[in-house]
Amino acid sequence: MPSRKFFVGGNWKMNGDKETLGELIMTLNTASLNDETEVVCGAPTIYLDYVRSKLDQRIGVAAQNCYKVPKGAFTGEISPAMIKDCGVDWVILGHSERRHVFGESDELIGQKVAHCLENGLGVIACIGEKLEEREAGITEDVVYEQTRVIADNVKDWASVVLAYEPVWAIGTGKTATPAQAQEVHEQLRGWLRGNVSDAVADSVRIIYGGSVTGGNCNELAAQADVDGFLVGGASLKPEFVDIINARS
CATH architecture of the domain formed by 6-245: Alpha-Beta Barrel (3.20)
Domain ranges of the chain: 6-245
pTM of the entire structure? 0.97
CB atoms within 10 A of CB 18: 13
Return the active site residues: 95, 165
Q: Can you give the pLDDT at residue 34?
A: 96
| Spans of the chain, pLDDT less than 50 | 1
Reduce the secondary structure of the chain to three states and give it as a string: CCCCCEEEEEECCCCCCHHHHHHHHHHHHHCCCCCCEEEEEECCHHHHHHHHHHCCCCCEEEECCCCCCCCCCCCCCCCHHHHHHCCCCEEEECCHHHHHCCCCCHHHHHHHHHHHHHCCCEEEEEECCCHHHHHCCCHHHHHHHHHHHHHCCCCCHHHEEEEECCHHHCCCCCCCCHHHHHHHHHHHHHHHHHHCCHHHHHHCEEEECCCCCCCCHHHHHCCCCCCEEEECHHHHCCCHHHHHCCCC
Q: Are 61 and 10 in contact (CB under 8 A)?
A: no
